[in-house]
Structures are given as C-alpha cells and as structure tokens.
C-alpha cells in the first residue's frame, strides 16, 4: 500500500509514456498510448495521452495511491492532457515538475536543406 507515489510522463513527439514509481524510483506500473490501444499516428494525439494516463491509473489501482508527484519530460502534444487524465481519474496532484532537458549549445545541427 502506497499513499504517495511519483508519476513520470514522457511526452515524446510520437508517443506519451506514463510510469508510476514509488518515491525511491522503483517502477510500480504504467501505460503508453500504444498499450492503450492506439496505433500509428493516433498515438501522437492529446486524446491518446489522456487515455494512456487513465489506463495507467487503473493498472496501479491495487496499490491504493491517493496522491502523486508528477514529473513531465518532453514537449510532445500529449503533455497537458496526460496530466488532465490523471486528474479525471481522481488522483490528487501534490506537485508538477518539468524535467525536460535543455541544451546549452548542444550538438551541431544538420545542414540546411537546399531545394
């Protein structure tokens, strides 16, 4: 039984992955748009991210989680809707943290396309 857990949402360009962990980082359960039944380009929609978050909540329902700390990584289309999916499933959100990696300079970009 876990009253408080952590949810890591990875909002990629083509998919959204929702993972429940305990506060030490051990995985409890999770879901993604593909697991929720979406294929192809439908996985990259905000609605698919919301459904994935709701299926992740039902997957960990046996643990008795009441409140979560949310960590969001990525700038994909399902970013906001995954958080709303957690709220609509009836879970308290203690905090929302953005852990998107920001490059400072980074690698040299590909050459510009000449048409």
Superfamily of domain 4-98: Ribosomal protein S11/S14 (3.30.420.80)
Say what the pTM is.
0.89
Q: For 5-56, write each residue's pLDDT tens digit.
A: 999 999 999 999 999 999 999 999 999 999 999 999 999 999 999 999 999 9
Where along the chain do its domains lie? 4-98
Place 2 in a pLDDT band, splitting at 50, 70 and 90: confident
Say yes or no to pLDDT of 1 above 90: no
What pLDDT does 27 receive? 96
Residue 16, Cα to own-chain centre: how many angstroms?
Answer: 6
Q: Residues 37-67, buried b or exposed e (16+ Cβ, 10 A)?
A: ebeeeebbbbebbbbbbbbbbebbeeeebee
Q: For 60-102, write each residue's pLDDT tens digit.
A: 999 999 999 999 999 999 999 999 999 999 899 999 999 999 9
| 67-to-90, 95, 101 alpha-carbon distances in Å | 9, 9, 25
What pLDDT does 22 receive? 94
């Amino acid at each position: 039984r876990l009253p408080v857990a952590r949810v890591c949402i990875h909002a990629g360009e083509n998919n959204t992955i929702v993972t429940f962990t305990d506060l030490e980082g051990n995985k409890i359960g999770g879901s993604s748009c593909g697991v929720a039944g979406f294929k192809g380009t439908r996985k990259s929609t905000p609605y698919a991210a919301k459904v994935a978050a709701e299926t992740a909540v039902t997957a960990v329902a046996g643990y008795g989680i009441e409140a979560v700390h949310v960590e969001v990584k990525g700038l994909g289309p399902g970013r906001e809707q995954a958080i709303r999916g957690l709220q609509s499933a009836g879970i308290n959100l203690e905090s929302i943290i953005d852990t998107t990696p920001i490059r400072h300079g980074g690698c040299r970009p590909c050459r510009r396309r000449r048409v």
